[in-house]
Structure 1
């Protein structure tokens, strides 16, 4: 396993797990952002579950179940492409960097997970 794969994936895991906790805790900035882009707060638990599942899948990939890590990274990529699209459609661009950074982490994790899978 490469150091880059481990570091990027751990950062992606921590970021998504933290975001899932923030969603479940219904922290103020999460509620404000959801309202601003038109996502009902009732959807937050489902969004948190998807982020947590992605983080758990990435962790499984790190500990040796590489195909699960690849699938989790791909799922997070799709999730955050959707988040960016929601921001663009709502014309809420002042904070689009947040889903953009999460998307970049997911893409980097996917690329490195595929490389780790093909190397083993």
Structure 2
């Protein structure tokens, strides 16, 4: 189960992180909507990519995977809060909240 969760999370965060790092137009628009600079959004993308690397390397060394999943969970919890603070409806926060829960599930299953 943990392998499936790690791969699923990686498949979600890899394109998102790359798009933010490359400052794709849709990500520039999202950054603007949230009141973030493109540079800060690139940092978020780099953190997502670091999380992907940690998840995948965590398949070989569990503590790294747990740390990566925990970091991604915190990042997604913060994303949900940022969306709410900018007046987005709860449905707009749902993807970040769901990803945070999946990351926490992976961390808990791996650590247990």
Normalising by structure 1, we get a TM-score of 0.81
Q: Measure the CA separation in 2 of the matches of 1:9 and 1:102.
A: 16
Q: Is the CA contact 2:13–2:48 (under 8 Å) kept in the aligned structure 1?
A: yes
2:99 is aligned to 105
SS of the aligned residue for 1:96 comes to helix
- Contact between 2:80 and 2:96, CA under 8 Å: does it hold in 1? no
User: 2:55 — aligned with what?
Assistant: 58
The aligned residue for residue 74 of structure 2 is: 78
User: Normalising to structure 2: TM-score of the pair?
Assistant: 0.86
Is contact 1:31-1:41 (8 Å) kept?
yes
Residue 15 of structure 2 corresponds to 18
Structure 2: tracts of 5 or more residues without a match: none
2:105 paired with 1:117: no
Query: Which structure 1 residue ranges, 4+ long, deviate > 4 Å from structure 2?
Result: none
Q: Does the CA contact (< 8 Å) of 2:66 and 2:107 recur in 1?
A: yes
Hey, what's the Cα distance between the residues in 1 that align with 2:45 and 2:71? 13
Q: What is the count of residue pairs matched by the alignment?
A: 112
Cα distance, 1:60–1:116 mapped onto 2, change above 3 Å: same
Offset of residue 51 of structure 1: 0.4
What residue ranges of structure 1 are gaps of 5+ in the alignment? none
- Please report the RMSD computed on the Cα atoms of aligned residues, expressed in angstroms: 1.9
Compared CA separation, residues 28 and 69, structure 1 to 2 (3 A): same
1:31 to 7, 28, 33: 28
Contact in 2 for aligned 1:57/1:71 (Cα 8 Å): yes
